[in-house]
A and B are shown apart, each in its own frame.
Chain A
Amino acid sequence: MLSDFPITGKKATRDGFGDGLLAAGQQYPNVVALCADLVGSLKMNAFIKVFPERFIQTGVAEANMMGMAAGLATAGKIPYTGTFANFSTGRVYDQIRQSIAYSDKNVKICASHAGLTLGEDGATHQILEDIGLMKMLPGMTVINPCDYNQTKAATIAIAEHQGPVYLRFGRPSWPIFMPESMPFIIGKGILMQEGTDVTIIATGHLVAYAMEAVQKLKEQGISAELINIHTIKPLDEEIVLDSISKTKCVVTAEEHQRNGGLGDSIAQLLARKKPTPQEYVAVNDSFGESGTPEQLLLKYGLGPEN
């Protein structure tokens, strides 16, 4: 129940990545890190300070960084690449496709500043297509955690997972509500609130807004079930189908284009196994713009009211 997920503070998910990377480095001697001139933004300094010999600064050359990561993985390392989500995906799609995904390389593509909440830098940097790009690649695991604690746990958990992973997180300071001690299980959704009238399935930053939405619906006499899907691929089909069989309708919520995102994955699942009315809270075939994260989420229809 939501009471098990009290807000305990505020921190950016990228801070969770930075702290998780240090912990993964301490736990796994083969973990190495690469960064394309965004060490501060990705919060990688703690790792670099402790493991300078296990860090490679690649300069503003993301294609080369992805290739080097593939080579490090070939030789048995577990490379974590760090740059913005835009430069982690679209800019280097062919490098990821051939040298990492098709070549089955154990590379962890860690992508910060995803989505509208990158804010003031505007649409050039606000990628809203990255989940779709990455989930289309065979063998790629796609993870979009929702808060500091979940991002930290995910960053450590992916070191154990053999195979390429896309880990997506963001820039803004954001509520922390996932229990610090909760284990991160790739591919396993989390039931945060039981309900009977509608299922809300949310990922990333929008889990926090979905929690607000559940409260608002309750005030209106609507009982909403809330599922936190941190792993978009492979999708936890069971948790979704179990919930839908009870509520018979679904709303998906994500900071991504409607095309290609979580909602798209859920729709495919339901079309095949349990056709169900669905509403999408997602960006509808549009680029973003400059503004504060909160302003942008509201303007593009991603607020708790939506």
Chain B
Amino acid sequence: MPTNEELKKIASQVRRDIIRMVHQCQSGHPGGSLGCTDYMVALYFHTLRHNLPFSMEGKGEDMFFLSNGHISPVWYSVLSRSGYFPISEMATFRKINSRLQGHPTTHEGLPGVRVASGSLGQGLSVAIGAALAKRMDKDPSLIYVLTGDGELQEGQVWEAMMSAAHLKVDNIIVAVDRNGQQIDGPTKEVMSLGDLEAKWKAFGWMVLHLNGNKMDEVLDTLAQAKALTGKGQPIVILMKTEMGFGVDFMMGSHHWHGVAPNDEQKDKALTQLEETLGDY
């Protein structure tokens, strides 16, 4: 199992991959990808019990669903860096004839992806379905989901929250990327989410909090969440992150939600991110 320090090194490389992928095709979503990097690295390189080669049905292993599909760069990087497909394929991101579509899809057969996402609000429902299948099959492994916070403005998410509690889906761990930003500005200005802890609790969930840009906290909280599974209630982690984390000029605003860096900005960003595993 990689140490905390080793995970931080992987995270640095993943952040380089994100910047380089988005720069290369001059499109994509670097902000949320950078913010969720520590969580995704902790999950794929430490917490998730997953097997290669990839199996769609995921029997006997944990499954991950990315609901906010626009942060595909971070997912593609951790998938390839953990062996799902060659790292050289990252160079095809968002280009014609690529398996690395702008938003993740099963359609091109990319290993690691189990459902298309991008149109927001759908991933939690799909994950609950997979969790119910595991329960029917008496498979004790777990389902992990990542959603955005702006995404919670979609009504389907609340349908899903209600159903998970009612159906006592206790083999699911949801993380909400609480970066407080969305395309048009801060979430509190665009459409306030209010007291998210109170809302999830009122819907019957156990709620944990986390600073998602501190690797040790991510690992501890994921361990705590795992320990709470199997107790008749679904679990959510409200994960505070900073959009653009790791690149100083991308942090602290919604500007870098869906904007690619130019050559100069890319070079500046890469100087802040150590190349630890070798660029693709």
Partner of B163, one of A53, A68, A77: A68
What is the interface residue range for chain B against chain A?
35 or more
Contact between A104 and B160, CB atoms less than 8 A apart: no
Q: Does B155 contact A (CB under 8 A)?
A: yes
Q: Quick check: is B1 within 8 A (CB to CB) of the other chain?
A: no
Residues of A within 8 Å of B116, CB to CB, are 98-99, 102-103
Query: A67 vs B114: C-alpha distance in the bound complex, in angstroms?
Result: 13
Q: Give chain B interface residues in 116-147, CB to chain A under 8 Å.
A: 116-119, 121-134, 136-137
Bits for B96-123, please: 1 = Cβ < 8 Å to A, else 0: 0000000001110000001111110111
Chain A nearest Cβ from B221, distance in angstroms: 24
**A71 interface neighbour in B59, B129, B167, Cβ under 8 Å:** B129
Residues of A within 8 A of B167 (CB): 56
- A61 at interface by CB-CB < 8 Å: yes
Q: Are A63 and B115 in contact (CB under 8 A)?
A: no
Interchain CB contact under 8 A, B136 and A67: no
| Contact residues in B for A95 (Cβ distance below 8 Å) | 122, 125, 156
Residues in B with CB closer than 8 Å to A99 are 115-116, 122, 125-126
Convert A210-221 into 0s and 1s, putting 1 for each residue whose CB lies closer than 8 angstroms to a CB of B. Answer: 000000000000
A236 to B115, CA, bound (A): 31
B108 CB, min distance to chain A CBs, angstroms: 11
* A-chain residues with CB within 8 Å of residue B152 when the two chains form the complex: none
Q: Is B159 an interface residue (CB 8 A)?
A: yes
Among residues of B, the one whose C-beta sits closest to the C-beta of A66 is B125
Q: Does B188 contact A (CB under 8 A)?
A: no
What is the number of residues of chain A that contact chain B, defined by CB distance less than 8 Å? 32
Q: Is B196 an interface residue (CB 8 A)?
A: no
* Residues B126 and A71 in contact, CB atoms below 8 Å apart: yes
Please name all residues of chain B whose beta carbon is closer than 8 Å to the beta carbon of A94 when the two chains form the complex.
119, 122
What 1/0 flags go to A88-124 for Cβ under 8 Å of B? 0000001101110011110000000000000000000
Name the CB-closest residue of B to A61.
Answer: B159
Nearest Cβ distance between residue A62 and chain B, in whole angstroms? 9
A277 at the interface (CB under 8 A from B): no
The residue in chain A whose Cβ has the minimal distance to the Cβ of B161 is A64
State the Cβ distance, B264 to closest chain A Cβ, in Å.
Answer: 36
Whole-angstrom CA separation of A99 from B65 in the bound complex: 12
Shortest beta-carbon distance from B6 to chain A in Å: 31
Contact partner, A64, options B63, B65, B118, B125, Cβ 8 Å: B125
A71 lies within 8 A of B136 (CB):
no
List the A side residues contacting B126 at CB < 8 Å. Answer: 67-68, 70-71, 74, 99
Nearest CB on A from B55, distance (A): 10
Do A76 and B57 touch (CB < 8 A)?
A: yes
Knowing A64-B125, A98-B122 are in contact, say whether A75-B115 is a contact too (CB < 8 A).
no
Asked whether A75 lies within 8 Å of B57 as measured between CB atoms, the reply is: yes
Question: How far is B58's CA from A71's CA once the two chains are assembled, in angstroms?
Answer: 11
Interface flag for A188 (CB, 8 Å): no
Which A residue sits closest to B129, measured CB to CB?
A71
Q: Are A74 and B129 in contact, with the CB atoms below 8 A?
A: yes
- How distant is the Cα of A33 from the Cα of B101 in the complex, in angstroms? 32
The residues of B that contact A71 with a CB separation of less than 8 Å are 65, 115, 125-133
* Inter-chain contact total with CB atoms closer than 8 Å: 116
CB interface residues, B 186-244, toward A, < 8 Å: none
Neighbouring B residues of A59 by C-beta, 8 Å:
162-163, 166
Given A61-B162, A67-B122, decide whether A74 and B132 contact each other with a Cβ distance below 8 A. no
CB of B25 within 8 A of chain A? no
Q: Is B56 an interface residue (CB 8 A)?
A: yes
Contact yes or no, A72 B159, CB < 8 A: no
State in angstroms the CA–CA spacing of A75 and B57 once bound together. 4
> Measured between C-beta atoms, what is the minimum distance from B118 to chain A in Å?
7
In the complex, what distance in Å separates the CA atom of A81 from the CA atom of B181? 36
On whether the beta carbons of B107 and A98 are closer than 8 Å, the reply is no
Taking a contact as CB atoms closer than 8 A, the residue among B115, B137, B155 that contacts A74 in the complex is B115
Interchain CA distance A105-B107 in the complex, whole Å: 10
Interface mask (A34-78 → B, CB under 8 Å = 1, otherwise 0): 000000000000000000011010110101111111111111110
CB of B160 within 8 A of CB of A74, answer no
Assess the B59–A76 pair: CB atoms within 8 A. yes
| Chain A residue nearest to B113 in the complex (CB) | A103
Q: At the interface, yes or no: A153 with Cβ under 8 Å from chain B?
A: no
Q: How far is the CA of A269 from the CA of B225 in the complex (A)?
A: 56
Residue among B59, B65, B122, B155 with the highest chain A CB neighbour number at 10 A: B122
Q: Which residue of A lies closest to B121 (CB)?
A: A63
What CA separation (Å) do A99 and B118 show in the bound complex?
Answer: 10
Q: Mark B7-49, 1 if CB is under 8 A from A, else 0.
A: 0000000000000000000000000000000000000000000
> Is A297 engaged at the interface, CB distance under 8 Å to the other chain?
no
Chain B nearest CB: distance from A55 CB in Å?
11
Output the residue of A61, A73, A74 with the most chain B CB within 10 A: A74
A61-B162, A67-B126, A67-B128 given; A102·B107 CB < 8 A: yes
14 CB < 8 A contacts A-B = A54-B136, A56-B132, A59-B163, A61-B159, A61-B162, A64-B125, A68-B126, A71-B125, A71-B127, A72-B129, A75-B63, A98-B122, A99-B115, A102-B105
10 new A-B contacts at CB < 8 Å, known A67-B122, A74-B129, A97-B119: A63-B125, A64-B125, A64-B128, A67-B125, A72-B129, A74-B63, A74-B130, A75-B59, A75-B133, A99-B122
CB-CB nearest 4 A-B residue pairs: A71-B129, A67-B125, A75-B133, A68-B129
